Structure 1
């Protein structure tokens, strides 16, 4: 089983010809409203990839809450630990340009009140994976991580948005998933000279005993686990937008580990999921299902 402690949002997505610069206004023809949030996206991605998933987090008591929960409920994610609080449901404002690149501004809303207390009621154990991100309070993430480690489970942190996690959280991690920018931010925070993703991942694995995965966009992924390097190229797809590509990677990667795949097999499935997400617009609507993932992973890594 995978337990996700993380954010739930609604995403307001606007297509634009190009992304705006500082102080600039760029017009779009309209917008779409989708469920999103890194915690919710990754929970849905893991569920669609075949895992049993529990999501813990918070939404408001507003109409946006129903949108934020809609696809999760439809796909069978356990939402018993999602609390209703007196704050607006979180929201993300996303601009996507003609090349599929995006800019995102997130308003935390109810996510700032997410609490890990409910995890005490779960039967966490050695076969469980706890999946974390950085859109809910870090103090609560530390509580969740300690509960998981005390039960003998594995803890995976997706360091998004970028930042430097508290040492108490790093001490609980089994795996860290970052993109190139997030890797650079953490390397600087740790006082490391490494600027290449490969070197950063190797050092984190060697010195901290934390397996590290660095996603490289269209170039694929590099990972270090137990002193062994894996480098995989991404499948070639036609990119519509990259929203939720990273979350699809993380969820499918965790689901593959939960299903008993090794590190390399999990990377393959994560890459396939992330690539497929780029072919469909929006966040959660773009998250692929297990059959699609397995088909692309099989075709790409024969």
Structure 2
């Protein structure tokens, strides 16, 4: 089982010819309303890949809560650990999507600020293989849950996103840190890792802090650096891009699901890389996430092979 502790939002996405400049009004296309939030997106992706998934977090008792949870309920994500907070708005995200598929996102956290580690019991953690965390809920709660998970021999993964001002990284209870290029440099800077190329800094971060560092590189693929200096790298996929919203969440969710079922790191990396690429081919975060059958068909059709980098 995969337990995801994280945010739940309702996403409102509008395609625009270009991102508005200060003071500018831009007329966009059709509004897409879809479930979102990094936690919910990752839980949904893991479930679509076939894992048993439990999502812990919080939504408000308002009109946004039901549509924010609709995809999760249809997919069969367990929601018993999800808190419903009276008098608080469900988290929401306002997204503009330009002609190149690049997004700009503003998030109103709402009830996500009330996510509580106590929603997950020790029995839940003992049954889980992976706990997946992000930074859209209070990190102190995530840190508490990570410590408890390690005590139950549950593998802990942290998607260090979004990196916010004032966040003090603590990686002592983290097995795998998942970051993109920007997040890697932010994390490495805050932890005093020497400047350098992304691959170099990922290796250095892994050695210094005793955790694996999974660096996502978009169309250029991904690499996983281990504390023993070994690295597994995967090529990217040249696919048409419609919408990049949630691609990183798809990657993290599928990677966690693959690890939870016992795949080795090369296999998990390969599956996650393919799923993230496929998710960019349609609008929306959860709506665009592929089923496992689609990922496996894509890989059988002749996708990348793992590369070991010395």
Alignment partner, residue 303 of structure 2: 300
Secondary structure in structure 2 of the residue aligned to 1:125: helix
User: Root-mean-square deviation (CA), in Å?
Assistant: 1.5
CA spacing shift, 1:42–1:24, aligned 2, 3 Å: same
Give the distance between the partners of 2:272 and 2:215, measured in 1 at CA: 12
Alignment partner, residue 11 of structure 1: 11
> Gaps spanning 5+ residues in structure 2: where?
306-310
TM-score for the superposition, normalised by structure 2: 0.93
- Map Cα deviations across residues 258-299 of structure 1 (whole Å, 9 max, x no partner): 111111111100100100100011111011111111122332
Alignment partner, residue 156 of structure 1: 157
Give the distance between the partners of 2:69 and 2:231, measured in 1 at CA: 38
Q: How far apart are residue 162 of structure 1 and its match?
A: 2.0
Aligned pairs (5 A) from 1:15-94 = 15-86=15-86, 87-94=88-95
Alignment partner, residue 263 of structure 1: 265
Alignment length, in residue pairs? 301
Alignment partner, residue 246 of structure 1: 248
Secondary structure in structure 1 of the residue aligned to 2:126: coil
Give the distance between the partners of 2:167 and 2:298, measured in 1 at CA: 34
Q: How far apart are residue 26 of structure 1 and its match?
A: 2.8
TM-score for the superposition, normalised by structure 1: 0.95
> Gaps spanning 5+ residues in structure 1: where?
none
Q: How far apart are residue 196 of structure 1 and its match?
A: 1.8
Secondary structure in structure 1 of the residue aligned to 2:224: strand
Give the distance between the partners of 1:121 and 1:191, measured in 2 at CA: 34
Secondary structure in structure 2 of the residue aligned to 1:33: strand
Give the distance between the partners of 2:19 and 2:6, measured in 1 at CA: 28
CA spacing shift, 1:127–1:55, aligned 2, 3 Å: closer
Alignment partner, residue 308 of structure 2: none
Alignment partner, residue 105 of structure 1: 106
- Is residue 176 of structure 1 aligned with residue 177 of structure 2? yes
Secondary structure in structure 2 of the residue aligned to 1:243: coil
Give the distance between the partners of 2:123 and 2:4, measured in 1 at CA: 12
Secondary structure in structure 2 of the residue aligned to 1:141: helix
Q: How far apart are residue 192 of structure 1 and its match?
A: 2.3
- Map Cα deviations across residues 30-62 of structure 1 (whole Å, 9 max, x no partner): 421111100000000000011000000000001
Give the distance between the partners of 2:122 and 2:130, measured in 1 at CA: 16
- Map Cα deviations across residues 212-261 of structure 1 (whole Å, 9 max, x no partner): 01111111112212421122111221111101111111111111111111
Q: Provide runs of 4+ in structure 1 moved above 4 Å.
A: none
Give the distance between the partners of 2:249 and 2:240, measured in 1 at CA: 18
Check the 8 A contact 1:59/1:89 in 2, yes or no. yes
Q: How far apart are residue 199 of structure 1 and its match?
A: 1.0
Alignment partner, residue 144 of structure 2: 143
Q: How far apart are residue 172 of structure 1 and its match?
A: 0.6
CA spacing shift, 1:193–1:20, aligned 2, 3 Å: farther
